[in-house]
Structure 1
Amino acid sequence: MPDWPFEPPRKPMEARVRERFPEPPGWAYEPKWDGFRALAWSAGPDGEPRLDSRNERPLLRYFPELREALDALPVGAVVDAEIVVVTDDVTNFDALQQRVHPAESRIHRLSVETPAQLVAFDLLAIGGEDLRAQPFEARRSHLEALLAGLDAPWSLTPSTHDLATAEEWHTRFEAAGCDGIVAKRLDGAYVEGKREMLKIKHRRTIDAVVGGYRVHKEGDRIGSLLLGMYDAEGRMHFVGHISGFADEERV
């Protein structure tokens, strides 16, 4: 980590759920990606970049194919991003979860079979300058300038100030695996660890059977429940998963 002239950010800013879109003006609307939230750090004096989870867990060892993308960041940069895996043009959270595995051989095999990407949506620092107190509109301009010089696996999340466009995205991007829309105040500072953003999530209801579970990536408790539905012949088929449990809900 570089020698920062300020206390560097540790935790990403969070969002709280809201049923309706906030009315313009004064808001930016962006897709909510279905992946792992991460802070991406440029290389420090030791030459090592960082990719840390929302709980400050190092993730780079699980995604070695992203090392070159982090090396491309300018000195003193911290990017708020989402790690995603895309298969058949759809974000695949199940494939992403499988990337977090202790076996080095599996890590390297999956880095080729299901490579990850980084979707950037905020910039916390650049050139060692702390941008968190700046309004989001200014941080977004800095982020756009940064991403203009970066190639895949980096990409810049779409953003709009138009409510009708955001509502159309909310419907259209669901098929691509997005989990809803995030709304950010254009004049809002970046407050790490606080629920300063709004998220308007998709609401989907089915009657399903719990057929199994996956272990949480940060422990030995339940991370997600695997859901199935029976067909006309009584055979169960996997239809998806549910996650997002609070710590006290995991067993």
Structure 2
Amino acid sequence: MDYPVEVALAQQVVALPEGEGWWYEPKLDGDRGVLWRRDTVRIQTRAGRDATEQWIDIATAAMDLPADTVLDGELVIWREGRTDFGAVRSRASARGRRLADLVRRYPASYAAFDCLMLNGQDLRGRPYLERRRALLEVLEKLGPPLQALPATDDVDVARTWYEVLPEQGCEGIVAKRATSPYKPGRSWVKIRHSQVVDADVVGYTGTPARPQHLAVRLPDGRIALTQMLTPLLTAQVASSLSEAALAGRAATAAGEEYRSAATDVVVEVAAGTTRHAVVTMIRVR
């Protein structure tokens, strides 16, 4: 396996998938980290950057892993019983004495959720459940700060996690097929904490006939782009957008550009309540 590895990601959905063969994991609020144990330890970010220096306490603990082992997981910092993403960001951007001070004051944890390689054997083509067993096996004799993320095939347990774990910094739930290999790209699905609200359509990306995303004004006044529209939703809003008067270009607070338009269209959306303000259109009102 070559460094860096391209990581698997999750596609946003509005409801937990159900049925035989689905497994569920809580999504903690931290930084993605691939942990490489070769002759030494390296920690790779989601984008492929080396972040070993920023997470030296995790790298030191990972020296106890078997040689030629690669794990995927989340780098988190716990403070007062919940994850602190601000502390994670501070650690990730710090250098020198400030970094050393943050490592001492706010030690990190590594919540592993996949095993990509064990004892030099590439496991990415193996089913999720086989990789999960390998993960539990390799971490069985170790303790904090390296731990396996909980997982369940009981959708009721997953719903309970979704309801009660936000107080501890859980962003939502990631669902994976028991038989699925580890593939780059959005091969998993996730549901984030959100509220279903009505929103005014104030623009779009793409063309009026084929809008890709809608720009919506949420009840709190924030303007955000929705996730990519499905073909059915595109058809539902296209006629209204074709009749709307364009008012030029605009951008959200996050810097996402869109075509501003005067419409009377109201849509129902699921708006994220976590730091990832994901907005997903459900239907036209």
The letter for the 1-side match of 2:27 is K
Matching residue of 1:69: 61
SS at structure 1 position matched to 2:28: coil
- Percent identical across equivalent pairs? 32
Amino acid at match of 1:133: G
2:220 alignment partner, one of 207, 217, 228: 207
In structure 1, what is the Cα distance between the partners aligned to 2:274 and 2:159?
25
Q: TM-score, normalised by structure 1?
A: 0.77
Moved over 6 A (4+): none
Residue 43 of structure 1: how far off its partner (Å): 2.8
Equivalent runs, 1:218-237 vs 2, <5 Å: none
CA distance in 1, matches of 2:37, 2:122: 14
> In the alignment, which of 146, 156, 163 is matched to residue 164 of structure 1?
156
Q: Which has the higher strand share?
A: 2
Cα-to-partner distance string for 1:97-135 (whole Å, 9 max, x where unaligned): 011234310000000111111000000000100101110
> Does the 8 A contact of 1:64 with 1:108 survive in 2?
no
Q: 1:148 aligns with which of 132, 140, 144?
A: 140
Task: Give TM-score, length-normalised by structure 2.
Answer: 0.68
Quick one: distance in 2 between partners of 1:102 and 1:35?
16
Contact 2:75 2:110 in 1 (8 A): yes
How many Å separate the matches in 2 of 1:200 and 1:243? 12
2:34 is the alignment partner of 1:42? no
Change (3 A) 1:167 1:60: same
Q: Which residue of 1 aligns with 2:169?
A: 177
Structure 2 stretches of 5 or more lacking a match? 198-218, 223-253, 256-272, 279-285
Q: 1:133 to 1:9 in 2, by over 3 A?
A: farther
Please show how residues 63-212 of structure 1 align to structure 2 within 5 Å.
Answer: 63-192=55-184, 194-204=185-195, 207=220
One-letter amino acid of the counterpart of residue 193, structure 2 = H
Given that 1:123 and 1:131 are in contact with CA atoms closer than 8 Å, whether structure 2 keeps it comes out as yes
CA RMSD of aligned residues (A): 2.5
CA displacement, residues 166-225 of structure 1 (integer Å, 9 cap, x when unaligned): 111101111100100000000000002x1010001101588389xxxxxxxxxxxxxx89
| Structure 1 residues 67 and 7: CA distance shift in structure 2, 3 A | closer
